[in-house]
Amino acid sequence: MYQYNQVDHQVIKERVAQFRDQTQRFINGELPLAEYLPLRLQNGLYVQRHAPMLRVAIPYGLLNSAQVRKLAHIAREYDKGYAHISTRQNMQFNWPALEQVPDILEELAEVEMHAIQTSGNCIRNVTTDQFAGVAHDEVTDPRAVCEMLRQWSTFHPEFAFLPRKFKIAVSADAEDRAGVKVHDIGIKVRRDDGKIGYDIYVGGGLGRTPMIGSLIKEKLEGEFLLPYLEAILRIYNRYGRRDNKYKARIKILVKALTPEVFAERVQQEFEIIKDGDLHTSQEKLEYYESFFKLLVEPLTADTLSSVKATLEADKAADPAFANWVQRNVRPHKLDGYANVTLSLKCTDIPPGDVSDDQLDAIADLADEFSKGQIRTTHFQNMVLTDVQEDQLKALYSKLVPLKLATANTGYITDIICCPGGDFCALANAKSIPVAADIQQVFDDQDYIYDLGPLDLNISGCMNACGHHHVGHIGILGVDKKGEEFYQLSVGGSSKDNASIGKILGPSISREDIAGAVKKVIDVYVEQRHEGEDFLSTLERIGTAEMKERVYAKPAS
């Protein structure tokens, strides 16, 4: 992974000093609230319902064990003993005291971490596939590009006061696990005849006006990636709307101009700057690549067959382990290794929450089984990569008592969920209890597996932090005269076939929403053809019957 050099360490230290000064001026009353606000936001600090929330950046979701131990320490010393993984792979603390935040940042700096640009109207932390670099289905490792973008966007002097927040995702895998079409800029890495190129999508996003991004550039070469992105940002900064914050995202500008005209304007600016200072030499691209090497070596034929035999024997001896392997373990680039998802979707804990003790244990497991590295995922889980397959049983045995072995990755109970009304000041309704209700309704594992892979996403308000628009089933909390209600939608997807879910009908009360989800699933189960997944069935039968079932008047 990327290693800080002296310059990075120096810059992060200077940032902590700068933010300490800003916070002190605010506390002293020298800096008005309105002027402190964007400064604290650009350092990941929100003011929430109960306390500030600090969002720590995890660049493209990659951590080492020392960093995870530090996060455990912060959860324990400055918070209530847990942290929360966001849908953009960052980690959030819900209970720090404002005056202690500079101290937390100083502690983070010791392990090459920070909270820079995790909020505010600036370029946010870049996200990617949680299996980047170890995925069996990727055209190349996208992390070098992510790191290049991280450096380019960090304290970019021109783009610190954009019309609105700006999110970039990079994906190089076959199914698009980063959701590039629902980001302000999505970069899809491709390989044609051995040559790497970048397809640029712009203007996707969720929130109040969900949209799928438009492809405005194909097969861009790596050397021109930074000039092209700078051109997009410059056009957006100049012409994005600033009169209405709900119409200020780049998607609104792209739609207003049309993607074709927007692309032309970007192209004009790009032509001027493409060979300028941001032009990236092959040497420099290789410099970024040098940080992201495979951590494991190919196994010899003999070792490989013994590793495989051990795994098969372990599976045969323990059906629960075999099931977990089937659900939570994904193939690795190299035969004989595997990538393991640690599910943070155990029924009695809010989705994406992880305790200080769990974090410490995960750090130890990473050192023992996965070369000291850990990933956070868009689905609010964690991942250990590079685990040799004959070690899976030992890892599993240690995960079970930690409650990190729930075998539900990708299934209906692997719910994406924002913190909602329990924590967030913006939320209209709670989301965590709804997730718990649904997990309780779907508590039969065999039934869940029979349903097949299913994305269920919950947001507590239309800001859509829980990505409800792109869930196969999406739930949105709304406020109806002071009461919590929930809008149910179906048919969304963030993957390569990205689409926005359709709202089924009027919003549904808190006590009925989990039951309504069950009715939607019942219709799917009754109507599906052999082996047909939820989205395909929905496409074939439409929403009429689901609507009828969900909104049927109870027989009196």
Partner 1 sequence: MPNQHLNGSTIENNQWSIAPEAAEQTTRLAEQTQLQVADASATSTLQTLETWATAAEKKNLLVSGDAEVADIEAAIGAAGQAPEVIFIDFPVFTDGRGYSLARLLKRAEWFNGKLAAIGDVLQDQVYFFWRCGFDVIVPRHDQNIENCQKALNSFSHVYQPAVNNPATKENKALEAEPA
**Which spans of this chain sit near partner 1 (rule: CB under 8 A)?**
5, 7-8, 10-11, 14-15, 18, 22, 35, 38-39, 121, 151-163, 234, 237-238, 242, 272, 277-278, 283-284, 287-288
Please report how close the Cβ of residue 18 comes to partner 1 at its closest, in angstroms.
Answer: 6
Query: What is the number of H-type helices and E-type strands within the chain?
Result: 18, 21
Strand order in the sheet with 45-47: 45-47, 52-56, 91-93, 82-85, 353-355
- Six-digit token string for 174: 């076959």
Nearer to partner 1, 94 or 154 (CB): 154
Nearer to partner 1, 149 or 344 (CB): 149
Please report how close the Cβ of residue 421 comes to partner 1 at its closest, in angstroms.
Answer: 28
Residues with Cβ < 8 Å from 297, sequence gap 6 or more?
none
Please report how close the Cβ of residue 292 comes to partner 1 at its closest, in angstroms.
Answer: 14
In which residue are the tokens 């930074």 written? 226
Beta strand segments in 193-257, E = 195-202, 214-220
Backbone CA torsion sign across 35, 38, 41, 43? negative
Distance CA 363, CA 556 (A): 57
Nearer to partner 1, 272 or 313 (CB): 272
Nearer to partner 1, 48 or 280 (CB): 280
Please report how close the Cβ of residue 345 comes to partner 1 at its closest, in angstroms.
Answer: 36
Nearer to partner 1, 18 or 397 (CB): 18
Nearer to partner 1, 277 or 530 (CB): 277
How many CB atoms sit inside 10 A of residue 438's CB? Answer: 25
Please report how close the Cβ of residue 6 comes to partner 1 at its closest, in angstroms.
Answer: 9
Q: In Å, how far are 303, 315, 327, 339 from 309, measured between CA atoms?
A: 10, 10, 20, 18
Please report how close the Cβ of residue 10 comes to partner 1 at its closest, in angstroms.
Answer: 6
In the three-class reduction of DSSP (H, G, I as helix; E, B as strand; rest coil), residue 174 is classed as coil
Distance CA 403, CA 405 (A): 6
Count, residues in the chain: 556
Please report how close the Cβ of residue 21 comes to partner 1 at its closest, in angstroms.
Answer: 9
Nearer to partner 1, 157 or 401 (CB): 157
